[in-house]
Homo-oligomer: A and B are copies of this chain.
Amino acid sequence: MDMQTAILLISCPDQKGITAKISNFIYQNNGNIEHADQHIDNQTNTFFMRIEWSLKGFRIPKEEITSEFSKLAIKFKMKYQLSFSSEIQRAAIFVSQHTHCLYDLLLRREEGQLRCNFPLIISNHSDAKKIADNFKIKFCQFKVKKGNKQETEKKIIELLKKEKIDLIILARYQQILSKNFVNLFTNRIINIHHSFLPAFVGENPYGQAYRRGVKIIGATSHYVTQELDAGPIIEQDTARISHRDSLDDLKMKGCDLEKIVLGRAVRLHLDRKILVYNNKTVIFD
Contacts and interface: CB of A to CB of B under 8 A. Distances in A.
Given A16-B32, A37-B37, A216-B218, A243 B280 contact: yes
Contacts of A26: 20
Contact of A255 (B20, B111, B281): B111
A123 to B, nearest CB: 18
A246 interface: yes
A107 B111 contact: no
A60 interface: no
A244 B43 CA distance: 12
A35 B244 CA distance: 10
A27 B38 contact: no
Contact of A212 (B15, B198, B263): B198
Interface string A241-270: 011101000001001100010010000000
Interface residues of A, number: 68
A179 interface: no
Contact of A36 (B15, B36, B281): B36
A39 B18 CA distance: 19
Nearest to A246: B42
Interface of A: 14-21, 23-24, 26-28, 30-43, 100, 103, 107, 111, 113, 134, 196-200, 212-216, 218, 232-238, 240, 242-244, 246, 252, 255-256, 260, 263, 278-283, 285
The 7 closest A-B pairs by CB, nearest first: A213-B280, A20-B27, A199-B199, A20-B23, A19-B23, A215-B236, A17-B27
Given A36-B36, A243-B280, 5 more contacts: A16-B27, A41-B243, A196-B216, A214-B236, A244-B285
